[in-house]
Amino acid sequence: MAKFIMTVRSNPVSGREAEYNEWYDRFHVPELVMTPTFVAGQRYRLADVKPFDYPGYQKPEYSYMVVYEIETDDLQKTKEILWSPENIGRIQKSTAFDSSKVDCQLYTPIGPRVLPRK
């Protein structure tokens, strides 16, 4: 079975960060990983430590990211299931989520998973 990841980068509505985080942890991630072919999800917050400055570095637009793991032999079918009215309808919404600007991407691996040599 092929493995993929889906990343979602977003921000809370100004002044509603606690509500956004509670909704994401209690409802959104658990409900989304119930989508067929989704196997896991994990949230991340932008670290307080900036990476090294380098030419072209731009401050990130998003403070939060979720990485969902997907296993399927038909990613197009997974996308159709994910965005189906039945699936979207069962997932609780939150007005603390700033839906005006979200970055959602699907990624496919292009090389082997590399571990450090021992």
The CATH number covering residue 94 comes to: 3.30.70.100
Take residue 34 and report the two structure tokens written for it. 């119930």
The whole-model pTM stands at: 0.91
The answer to whether residue 114 sits within a structural domain is: no
Mark out the alpha helices in 28-108 (DSSP H runs).
Answer: 29-32, 75-82, 85-90
Q: Which domain holds residue 92?
A: 3-47+60-107
Type of residue found at 102: V
Tokens coding 82: 């994910």
Give the model confidence (pLDDT) of 13-27 as tens digits.
999 999 999 999 999
* Residue the block writes with tokens 């430590």: 49
pLDDT digits (tens, 9 = 90+) for 41-84: 999 999 988 777 778 888 889 999 999 999 999 999 999 999 99
Specify if 117 maps to a domain.
Answer: no
- Domain count across the chain: 1
Could you tell me the pLDDT band of residue 91, with boundaries at 50, 70 and 90? very high
